[in-house]
Structure formats: C-alpha cells, structure tokens
Amino acid sequence: MDTWKKRTKAVHSGIRRSQYNEVSEAIFLTQGFVYDTAEDAEARFIKAGADEFIYARYGNPTVAMFEDRIAALEGAEDGFATASGMAAVNGALTSILRAGDHVVSARALFGSCLYILEEILPRYGVEVTFVDGTDLAAWKTAIRPDTKVVFFESISNPTLEVTDIAAVSKLAHAVDATVIVDNVFATPVFSNALEQGADVVVYSATKHIDGQGRALGGVILGTRDFIRGTVEPYMKHTGGSMSPFTAWMMLKGLETIDLRVRAQAATAHYLAEQLEADGQLANVIYPGLASHSQYALTMAQMQAGGTVLAIDASSQKAAFALLNALEIWTISNNLGDAKSIATHPATTTHQRLSDETKAMLGITPGLLRLSVGLEDPDDLLNDLRSAIAARA
C-alpha cells in the first residue's frame, strides 16, 4: 500500500470487511459494542486493541476506515474524524494548548477560525499574535522561544493568500512549536503539507472530501502519538467525534475526490484566465494565475491553483446585482461542492468582522468568492459574463 498513488489510496485504503465480504464499506450504526465476558470488558477499557471498539464516541469501524483512508491519502500516520471542520480546528488547537501558551497565527482566516483565536483561546489564558501570513519577516518577528503553536490556512479564505508552509514550519520548529495547517483550499489531492513541514493538518470534510453538500465533517491528521495521545482523549470526552453514517459518506466521497478536484481546478483556472482577459472586473484573484503575487509559491507547493477563485465587482451593490443575475451558480456559503457556489464574504462568512478588519484582510465590499463545481466550463463562464454585464 505504501507504493500506491493517491488515486488508488483514495479507493482502497483502510477497508475493513465483515464476515460477509461486502464490496462497499459497511455502516456500523451502533453506539456500543458487546463483550464476551466481564474480564474482556475490563481489559478493553484498560487498553483497546488496534481493531477493538468501546463506544461510538471513542471510535467505530466505519469511522476508523475513513480515518485510515484519509491518513493514507495525506501521508499521515493517523487521523481523528470529527463532527465538523470547526470541531477539527478547535480540537487540534484546544487539545494541545494550556493557559500561558503562545500562538502565532496568520490573520487571514475563515470567520469561525478567527473567532476561536480572537475570542475563545484568550478566555482561557492563551496569548495569540496575528501576522500577515505572506510575510516571512513578520512570522520571524512574532515567533518567540515560548511559542507553542503556529496556525495558518495554506490558502486563505476568501482572499486566496498563500502561506509558505516549508519556510514558516522551519521558523516554528526552531523553537519546537507545533505547526497546524488548515488545508481545506489546497485539498488532499494537491496537498503535500506534511512533507513540506507541517506537523498537523486539519480539513473540513464538508468541503471537497464529501464534495456533494450532504454532511458536515472534519478530520485532524498527524503523528500517531499526537492523534491517539493528545487529540483522541480530548475529542472523545468533549463529544466532537464523527457519526458512522457521515464517515460512510466521506468514504464514498474519497473514492472520486481526485477526479472531481482535478476537474474543478482545471475549470477554475480556465474561468480565471478568461475573466482576467475580459477586463470587466476590478480584480480577479486565483493562485494559479501568473498575475497572482504568489504564483511561483503556489506551483512549487501544490502544482495547481485549486478550485476557488475570487472576483471584485467594485461595490456591494454591483456584487449583489451580479449574484442575483446568476442562473447556474448557486448563492450559498459552502465550497468544494459539485455545484458551483458564489458567496459574498463581507455580508456572510466574514460579516462579524469590523469594516477596518475587512479592509486590512482585503475583503472588499465587491469581493465574491467563487467555488467551482463540475458543470460545463463554458456554461459557467457564460453565466458569469451575463451576470457581470447585468450588474450595471
């Protein structure tokens, strides 16, 4: 299995077959497990074996298949599946941090990630310093000898800034800090975050892993010692684990993720090139465009620009008019779906931020985040062009 390529791992890794030798993975919809004797129960609570289970909040065969498969795909030793992407972010951070610890984080983050770092962690005595994630000098200045964790999105939401994983990890490891990377926009298909220096990778499985808008989920990936020694005790006692049925859907999503994400990224690149050439927008942002300030880093880090682009329609009024004129694109706040989705971050995913913070992060009133789906590329382009023309 170690020699398999990603597409093969996404289909076959982690399979556990029952006595019936089913082809599709079985869903074990049970909250508990039976022991042959009282002595067996006692022994399992002292230390469960590699394929032994106690309670669904602690682990489940279907969930374990998903954890093993995504870990193999990402190149991690182990993973812990969570109820949502934010449960993964919170679990990765909170399980390792204590009062008095110091965190350095990129300032450009998803709104809920910002809430954890700005609001929740400081309540419990954790100091957080925010930096421009694209500025290595800022990282070097902010990381201190007592820094415990460094956190960033490999590609930021929604302005698509790219953080240099290898360079930031080198700075963090010089003080023995743990590097936690939210890798949603990079996807498991294009990601090499662990190879590039990250210690822990988190995903919202709700996005590309499911890929069809069916369920919430997340996963924390890292070394076996970190996952089973630090994350698992925290997650199983605080209740953030994934359900078996959700894990089964995520397994099905992984079977097609490579084909889906590569097709979506190719379309995103095509749309970005065409819209930039049209010259009808204030800005077109896509890491895979040669005009992007971090194009070289993007290509070195993930060899593709991803499935999301951003455009600036100049004003909120124009952005709303554009959104309301769309026929194929769906107005929603998810991403990584088979359906193409358009989002106005300033009034939805990042609406709680002050105008000053939005301006600092580049979340302008006219900014739209476009998550590219699996529709025909020309249909998507024509829909956007018609909506851009109609915004006037």
Buried b (16+ CB within 10 A) or exposed e, 164-198: bbeebbbbbeeeebbbbbbbbbbbbbbbbbbebbb
* Interhelix angle 244-278/377-390, nearest 10 degrees: 60
- Which residue, chain included where needed, has tokens 């020309």? 378
- The whole-angstrom separation of Cα 250 and Cα 349 is 24
- The whole-angstrom separation of Cα 388 and Cα 392 is 8
CB 66 within 8 A of CB 210: no
Q: How many CA atoms lie within 13 A of 31 on its CB side?
A: 1
CB 369 within 8 A of CB 340: no
Give residue 216's identity as a one-letter amino acid code.
L
Could you list the pLDDT tens digit for every one of the 392 residues in the chain? Answer: 678 988 898 899 988 898 888 898 999 999 999 999 999 999 999 988 888 999 999 999 999 999 999 999 999 999 999 999 999 999 999 999 999 999 999 999 998 999 999 999 999 999 999 999 999 999 999 999 999 999 999 999 999 999 999 999 999 999 999 999 999 999 999 989 999 999 999 999 999 999 999 999 999 999 999 999 999 999 999 999 999 999 999 999 999 999 999 999 999 999 999 999 999 999 999 999 999 999 999 999 999 999 999 999 999 999 999 999 999 999 999 999 999 999 999 999 898 888 998 898 999 999 999 999 999 999 999 999 999 999 86
Query: What's CA 295's distance to the chain center, in Å?
Result: 20
What tokens appear for 97 in the block? Answer: 């941090």
pLDDT digits (tens, 9 = 90+) for 190-236: 989 999 999 999 999 999 999 999 999 999 999 999 999 999 999 99
Give me the count of residues in the chain.
Answer: 392
Query: What's CA 20's distance to the chain center, in Å?
Result: 35
CB 130 within 8 A of CB 106: yes
Q: Where are the beta strands (DSSP E) in 78-232?
A: 78-82, 102-106, 127-131, 147-153, 178-182, 200-204, 218-222
Q: Is the peptide bond before 158 cis (omega within 30 degrees of 0)?
A: yes
CB 199 within 8 A of CB 222: yes
What tokens appear for 370 in the block? Answer: 């476009």
pLDDT digits (tens, 9 = 90+) for 170-195: 999 999 999 999 999 999 999 899 99
* Interhelix angle 244-278/61-74, nearest 10 degrees: 30
- The whole-angstrom separation of Cα 170 and Cα 34 is 47
Residues whose CB is less than 8 angstroms from the CB of residue 225 and which lie 6 or more positions away in sequence, other chains included? none
Question: Which among 116, 94, 76, 25 has a CA at the least distance from the CA of 239?
Answer: 94
